């Protein structure tokens, strides 16, 4: 009965339907890719290394690594990643410090959390608990999910919304608050968190995120900015570059993976990335100027996923190989391939 209630509640977010995403466990059927990922980006202690950012680590990377470890059916790696996250990033409130620097003492150089990292860790734990029954991961997921609910969700004109961190984005902390980052709404995570912490605001967050995304279409291309003020009508937030960039490019990935990506909702991205020669670029949504290309395969994979969803165009074979470059785009490529396999298998 509870599962039916969950489905009906989330169904209200999108009248056309929001089908629960398949379980992630075992979905990364690419042993050579996972081996290359582990070798390049995961230390023997379980630290995910951002090799394009002075080899720092962050909660987002730990969450992504844990999610991919479940997808690759690698419980040894998962346990290492989770233990490192707890011991090195864990905070007293149940959330995780976002930034760890190997060259600093202490290593945690910013104890504020990042809600996308918190969500990704909670989601990965929920997936692990489902995939490896009898493990302690489901309980741990519920604890992190409840900490997110307590600390990071506030009321707004759009309903409950997700703060990017527990400090710095709400009233009194900066101008034009609340400030949100729509790429922190990890939509496919909400289904799993509903199952482990059903009292949480997951359906309401899915609804508010979809509403803000529909309203936050700026410039000639109708794109969201990475950072958005929702004080009144959504607009690019003061104090941040008014760009659609390395954060916001995740929005169509999460939307499509969660089954929320109607053609109307992905239209701005489909228009930009209409053929296989299209290279995503960072775009100034105020001036409409196209800035540097985002040419790594991870960004190309998100563009290919959008084309696949919009016009059933197959994803290029060169995006499915085991080669890796930098942590972030390599991770996004893995996620885009899992999303395609689960939602659009005809495109692979």
Q: Looking at domain 20-343, which CATH architecture does it have?
A: Alpha/alpha barrel (1.50)
CA angle 335, 200, 197 (to 5 degrees): 75
Instruction: With a cut of 80, say whether residue 19 has pLDDT above it.
Output: no
In the residue annotation, 60 being an active-site residue is answered as yes
Q: Give pLDDT tens digits for 227-268.
A: 999 999 999 999 999 999 999 999 999 999 999 988 899 999
User: In terms of DSSP bridges, do strands 179-180 and 161-162 run parallel, antiparallel, or are they unpaired?
Assistant: unpaired
Point out the catalytic residue in the list 50, 74, 116, 127: 116
Residue 330 clears pLDDT 90, i.e. is over it: yes
Q: What is the structure's pLDDT at 4?
A: 32
Q: Residue 332: is it exposed, middle or buried by C-beta count within 10 angstroms (0-12/13-18/19+)?
A: buried
With 80 as the cut, is the pLDDT of residue 283 above it?
A: yes
Catalytic one of 60, 113, 127, 247: 60
Indicate whether 8 pLDDT > 70.
no
Measured from the Cβ of residue 346, the count of other Cβ atoms closer than 10 Å reads: 8
Residue 18 pLDDT: 54
**Spatial separation of the C-alpha atoms in residues 73 and 132, rounded to whole Å:** 9
Considering the entire predicted model, what is its pTM?
A: 0.94
- Taking alpha carbons only, the member of 280, 307, 283, 308 closest to residue 296 is 280
The reported pLDDT for the residue numbered 16 is: 37
Q: Take residue 183 and report the two structure tokens written for it.
A: 């790429």
Q: Quote the pLDDT of residue 5.
A: 33
For the chain, the average pLDDT equals 93
Q: What is the pLDDT of residue 208?
A: 97
Segment 153-200, tens digit of pLDDT? 999 999 999 999 999 998 877 888 999 999 999 999 998 999 999 999
Q: How far apart are CA 229 and CA 341, in angstroms?
A: 35
| Predicted confidence (pLDDT) per residue in 61-93, tens digit | 999 999 999 999 999 999 999 999 999 999 999
pLDDT in tens, 91-141: 999 999 999 999 999 999 999 999 999 999 999 999 999 999 999 999 999
Domain boundaries, the chain: 20-343
Angle at 52 between CA 179 and CA 101, to 5 degrees: 75
């Amino acid at each position: 009965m509870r599962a039916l209630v969950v489905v009906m509640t989330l169904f209200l977010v999108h009248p056309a339907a929001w089908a629960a995403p398949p379980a992630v466990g075992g979905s990364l059927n690419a042993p050579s890719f996972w081996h290359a990922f582990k070798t390049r980006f995961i230390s023997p202690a379980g630290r995910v290394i951002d090799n394009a950012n002075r080899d720092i680590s962050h909660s987002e990377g730990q969450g992504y690594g844990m999610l991919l470890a479940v997808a690759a059916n690698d419980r040894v790696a998962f346990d290492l990643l989770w233990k490192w996250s707890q011991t090195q990033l864990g905070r007293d409130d149940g959330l995780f410090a976002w930034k760890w620097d190997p060259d600093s003492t202490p290593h945690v150089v910013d104890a504020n959390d990042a809600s996308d990292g918190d969500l990704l860790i909670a989601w990965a734990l929920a997936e692990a608990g489902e995939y490896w029954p009898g493990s302690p991961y489901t309980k741990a997921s519920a604890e992190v999910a409840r900490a997110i609910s307590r600390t990071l969700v506030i009321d707004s004109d759009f309903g409950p919304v997700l703060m990017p961190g527990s400090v710095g984005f709400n009233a009194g902390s900066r101008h034009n608050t609340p400030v949100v980052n729509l790429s922190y709404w990890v939509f496919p995570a909400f289904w799993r968190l509903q199952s482990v912490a059903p009292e949480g605001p997951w359906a309401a967050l899915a609804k508010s995120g979809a509403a803000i995304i529909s309203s936050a279409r700026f410039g000639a291309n109708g794109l969201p900015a990475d950072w958005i003020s929702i004080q009144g009508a959504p607009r690019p937030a003061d104090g941040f570059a008014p760009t659609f960039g390395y954060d916001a490019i995740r929005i169509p990935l999460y939307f499509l993976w969660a089954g929320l990506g109607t053609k109307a909702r992905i239209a701005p991205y489909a228009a930009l990335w209409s053929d296989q020669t299209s290279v995503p670029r960072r775009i100034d949504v105020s001036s409409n100027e196209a800035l540097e290309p985002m040419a790594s395969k991870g960004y190309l994979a998100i563009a290919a996923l959008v084309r696949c969803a919009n016009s059933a165009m197959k994803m290029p074979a060169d995006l499915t190989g085991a080669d890796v470059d930098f942590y972030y785009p390599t991770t996004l490529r893995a996620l885009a391939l899992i999303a395609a396999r689960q939602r659009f298998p005809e495109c692979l």
